Structures are given as C-alpha cells and as structure tokens.
Amino acid sequence: MTIRDGALVLADGSVFEGELFGADPAGGVTTGEVVFNTVMSGYQEVISDPSYAGQIITFTTAHLGNYGVTTSDDEAPRVHCRGVVLREMARRHSNWRAEGSLDAYLAAAGVAAIGGVDTRRLTRVLRDTGAMPGAFGDASIDDLTAAARAAHGTDGQDLVSRVTCAESSVVPGAPGRRIVAVDCGIKATIVRCLADSVGEVVVVPSSTSATDILALGPDGVFLSNGPGDPAAVAGVADTVRELLGRVPVFGICMGHQLLATALGGSTFKLPFGHHGGNHPVRDLESGRVEITSQNHNYCVDLTGVADVATTHVNLNDGTLEGFRSTRHPAFGIQHHPEAGPGPHDARYLFDRFADLIDAGR
C-alpha cells in the first residue's frame, strides 16, 4: 500500500489532514459532495452503490478494509462515488471470502481515498452545517479550498442518466410474474430480492417510455434507487404518470421520490441526508418498528396531494419513509428493504409488492 500525505478541505474552509491511497485522481484532486455514513460493516456495498454518484463518502466507523473485498458483494458493475474518507485503513485483511484488499479495490475502480482523518470532527461539521462540496488530494490548501468552493453539490443534478444501464437485461426469478425494473441506479441486491420474492425481472434504462415498458407485458413495474436530485431527473416521473392505474408500481428511494412526484408531490433536500444501517422506522399500518438501511439526500413532501396515505415514518426526525396511493395500486418506500448492507427487517415489502400484483389479477 502506497501512502502519501494529503488533506481534505470543505467548501466552508474546514481542513482535515490525512494520508492518501487508492487511485491517483486526475490533476491530483478529488471533488464531490461530502456526506457521512454510519454503517459498521458493508463498506464495499456502500462504495459500489450507484446512489453515491457525485459524492465523497465519509465512514464514521473507525476501521475499514479488515475483511477485504469480494466481487459477489458489488452492488453495480462499476463504482460511481467520487471518493472515500475514513479514520483508519486496515493494513491486512482476513476473511475466507476475501479476494483482495480494499485499497487495491479502490485503485482498480479509479477511486481515491484519504485516511487518518478525524472523522468524528468531520461528521460533526457535516451534521451541524449540512452536506457540502469538498476536495482532497496532495495539492496546497489554497488549491484544495478553491477546488472545494468550485465543486457542485447534488442540487439540480440529474445523475440518474449517468448511472442507468445502456440496454435491457433479464434476470430469471420466481415463476408466475414478470417485473419491469426501471434502472435509476439499481442495486444488485434489489434485483436479487425482486427475483427471489416477486418474479422474473427485466431491467430497463431510465429513459424507457411507458409504451415500451407496457409492451414487455409486465405484471408490475419497479422504480429503483438512484443518485442526485429527483426534481432534476428528466422524463421518469412523466413515464410513471402514464403507468399509474395500468400496472402496479413499487418504488424504493429515488423510485419512491419519482412516484411521489408523479402523483403531484414534491421533494426537498435534507440537511445532511440519511446514510446508514440503523435508522428506526415505524410502519403505521402494523405499528411495528423496523431498523432500516438508508441512503438518501432528499425527502418527499405530500402536502396537498390527494388520494395518498402515509405508511411509514422515520422515528429520528419524523420525515416520510413510505406512502401508498389510495387510487392506484402503487406504493413507495424511502429506505432500503433489500438492506445491502444493513438489517433485513423491511424485506417483507417485496412480498407486499407480489401481493399487490396478485390482488389485481
């Protein structure tokens, strides 16, 4: 492992010294919106989640890389996050599943990282000030400050078009149902859960029209997670609007936000987002409290929207975590029931989608 001195600078001027490893970024500087994630394990799944496109991920857990990496834990064919910030990188990994080190994984993926950072102080800054652009590398503090202040956050950014698949693919699944999954940045674990619990999955690009989706003969349509500002995503909400009432719809994360938009709702950016595997959510219809995996910067506002019912609420801050349409067979969930990584308390939601499809037959 080759280590070099470097620094991370936030757009507000906060400076954090550290050590650089992973890939060498173009120009020696990595920029992006800095967020923090509180998971204790599952770093590979987080790093490979397409929802982190445009962002630099700060891990609050003290050590990363201790159990290495394996290709079976990748959530996407390539890594889309801009960079990784951590407290300490393990010098050796040990796990029977490991195929290599996290450092080598990042280098091969073209992702830069900075370790030795006081991530507790960094997290407090982001918690108090909000997610903001940052820059890290081996440049001067002045150059890093200028790069951080010139960098863009996720506001107004359509990042879905950058991460969606280029062509359709089919994943065999449980017999009897066909699901068309609109890829806004879909995770591999979500595809597996849909195939195991619901049926055959046809993954299509986010630009696919409602006419082309219906031509595939779906029993249900799934709207996936994805990165960036849902208000800036072109076309998908209009497509969903055409599908409502014609086929059952289920959305997760970005898909939840786009479904809400199609129904007349709006979205707003949270101060520092929800990123972690320990968020308590109440299912209002059962009264059950679930510990959930979450990764989103934006939240849905259904104020004034008719024919919707709130189904799930975040117990940390009271924000909306789930809703269903009372007019159409459609529902959305803000958190990640596939939980890669994270607890599996909410995986029943895939069965709920199957039941919704069957109820309409």
Name the segment(s) of the chain with CATH classification 3.40.50.880: 160-359
pLDDT in tens, 238-269: 999 999 999 999 999 999 999 999 999 999 99
**Closest among 133, 173, 175 to 154, alpha carbons compared:** 133
DSSP-assigned states of every residue in 204-266: EETT--HHHHHHT--SEEEE----S-GGG--SHHHHHHHHTTTS-EEEETHHHHHHHHHTT-E
Check pLDDT > 70 for residue 187.
Answer: yes
| Catalytic residue list contains 45 | no
Per-chain mean pLDDT for the chain: 95
Tokens for 51, please give them.
């929802």
What's the rounded Cα separation, in Å, for the pair 208 and 181? 10
pLDDT band, very low/low/confident/very high, at 25 (cuts 50, 70, 90): confident
pLDDT of residue 4: 85
100-127 burial, b at 16+ Cβ within 10 Å, e below that, comes to ebbbbbbbebebbbbbbbebeebbebbe
Residue of 275, 312, 328, 336 marked active site: 336
Q: What is the pTM of this model?
A: 0.96
Which of 81, 184, 193, 253 is catalytic? The answer is 253
**Where in the chain do CATH 3.50.30.20 domains reside?**
4-150
Is the predicted pLDDT of residue 1 greater than 90, yes or no? no
Tell me what pLDDT residue 2 has.
64
Res 361 pLDDT > 90: no
Tens of pLDDT, residues 150-167: 998 899 999 999 999 999
| Strand 169-171 to 200-205 pairing | antiparallel
- CATH code at 160-359: 3.40.50.880
What would the two tokens of residue 289 be? 């409290």
Nearest to 257, CA basis, from 270, 248, 271, 247: 270
pLDDT at residue 342, as a whole number: 79
Distance from C-alpha of 84 to C-alpha of 153, rounded to nearest angstrom: 16
Show Cβ contacts of residue 81 under 8 Å, excluding neighbours closer than 6 positions: 32, 47, 49, 52, 53, 55, 56, 57, 111
pLDDT at 211 over 80: yes
User: What is the model's pLDDT at position 234?
Assistant: 87
The CATH class of the 4-150 domain is alpha beta
Q: Is residue 26 pLDDT above 80, yes or no?
A: no
Which residues are paired to 325 by β-bridges?
Answer: 308
In the structure encoding, which two tokens stand for residue 206, read together?
């986010």
Decide if 19 is catalytic: no
With CA atoms as reference, report the closest residue to 22 among 110, 141, 99.
110
Which amino acid is residue 146, in one-letter code? A
Q: Is 81 a catalytic residue?
A: no
The pLDDT of residue 47: 97
Q: Which residues have a Cβ under 8 Å from the Cβ of 206 and sit 6 or more positions away?
A: 160, 161, 164, 182, 183, 184, 226, 233, 235, 236
